[in-house]
Structure 1
Amino acid sequence: MARGNTRQRIQDVALELFAEQGYEKTSLREIAERLDVTKAALYYHFKTKEDILIGLFQDLTRPMDELIAWGQTQPRTLETRQEALRRYQRALLDAAPLYRFMQENQATVRELSIGLTFKERMLEVTELVQEPDFAMADRVRCVSAIFTLHAGTFFMQNVEGDLEEKHEAVLEVALDLLAQAHHAP
């Protein structure tokens, strides 16, 4: 496990188990057993599975929140939009296990409080890369650039090739879409 403290280890193991057997089928007892700790030790940090998931979501989406805060203070230029895409790709890659969980457990995510806040974040990120006065086709290009990063993060793993090269190619395509949508003042 990459992260060291107990709280983070609990989250990492819980996410592994959620991915292996599904959120609904994973119990706090199984998480404690995998960690080789007592259930009481687990309860000290998290009272419920939802608490673990919310903690994970907050930790792993912090870069997304930082991106939104940064983007809202920047000039509305093509360069800013391009940097926003680069930062978003890094956030996606860092949080890939959580996003995979969300993709595979959409019904669960919708029922939990994190579903709505994630949707709100996504809307804010798409606002960073487009302008309200863009033509509809250009707005679609901007939103497509975001979803190119999503597709590249999760679906390119099944494509042969060097991982870094795939990430660079995905970013290049997303940046091309953004450049096509950019209107010079």
Structure 2
Amino acid sequence: MGGTMDGTKQQRRGNTRQRIQDVALELFAEQGYEKTSLREIAERLDVTKAALYYHFKTKEEIIVSLFEDLTKPIEDLIEWGREQPSTLETKQEIVRRYSQALAGAEPLFRFMQENQATVRELRIGETFKDRLRGFRDILIDPEAPLVEQVRCVSAMFTLHAGMFAMQDLEDDLEKRRMAVLEVAVDLVTQAHERARGKD
């Protein structure tokens, strides 16, 4: 999946359903979820409301479908991670793949960050928490000291924070992602090595 919104759009442009998702997400980002109507989405797409209804009956259906599509790589990663041995190499690879999955879904996560109250009311809020718990569970070693478990969870949140808290520090998305990834991998490496040192 592409690392930028433009790359994601180029891959998704040909499909009407995906065009609706992309335009809706743009409008939600511009004016907020609550203030955006299905009529406005149809107008931006230059289609009738009936044509929009063929694909989606509500705004929630649009955002839920976007969430399911764009976070599928995260769900796949969790499944893959559950089948792997709990080695340092596996954990580092999980962090790398998670970073790529987040980059591919950045527009959605930006929406979720900026519309937290709305997300809590939609069913995607609970689903996202479940995915975070699933990711946490494949990253931490439950036998490790608590401080090392916290270090692993901190790696996960470092990746999330890198998308939002550093936007104004570095315009080059890939350069920023790689810097954040380096810190996250380092946290997981420290946690693994320190936990093994205490055995």
TM-score (normalizing by structure 1) = 0.96
1:15: which partner in 2? 25
Q: Of 146, 166, 189, which residue of structure 2 is paired with 1:179?
A: 189
Task: Show structure 1 runs of 5+ residues with no match.
Answer: none
2:83: which partner in 1? 73
Q: Could you tell me how far 1:127 is from its partner in structure 2?
A: 1.1
Residues 79 and 105 of structure 1: CA distance in aligned 2, closer, same or farther (over 3 Å): same
1:64: which partner in 2? 74
Instruction: Give the Cα separation in 2 of the matches to 1:5 and 1:163.
Output: 26
Instruction: Give the Cα separation in 2 of the matches to 1:121 and 1:63.
Output: 11
Amino acid at match of 1:124: G
Q: Which moved more, 1:164-173 or 1:91-100?
A: 164-173
Q: Of 114, 135, 154, which residue of structure 2 is paired with 1:104?
A: 114
Q: For each residue in 1:147-178, what CA deviation from the matched residue of structure 2 results, as whole angstroms up to 9, or x when unmatched? A: 11111122222114643332211111111111
Instruction: Give the Cα separation in 1 of the matches to 2:66 and 2:173.
Output: 25
Q: For each residue in 1:85-140, what CA deviation from the matched residue of structure 2 results, as whole angstroms up to 9, or x when unmatched? A: 00000010000000010011111111111110100000110111111111111111
4+ runs deviating over 6 angstroms? none
Residues 163 and 103 of structure 1: CA distance in aligned 2, closer, same or farther (over 3 Å): closer
Give the secondary-structure state (helix, strand or coil) at the position aligned to 1:53: helix
TM-score (normalizing by structure 2) = 0.90
1:45: which partner in 2? 55
What root-mean-square deviation, in Å, do the aligned CA atoms of Structure 1 and Structure 2 show? Answer: 1.2
Q: Of 136, 141, 149, which residue of structure 2 is paired with 1:139?
A: 149
Amino acid at match of 1:65: E
1:24: which partner in 2? 34
Task: Show structure 2 runs of 5+ residues with no match.
Answer: 1-8
Aligned length: 185
Give the secondary-structure state (helix, strand or coil) at the position aligned to 2:167: helix
Amino acid at match of 1:13: V
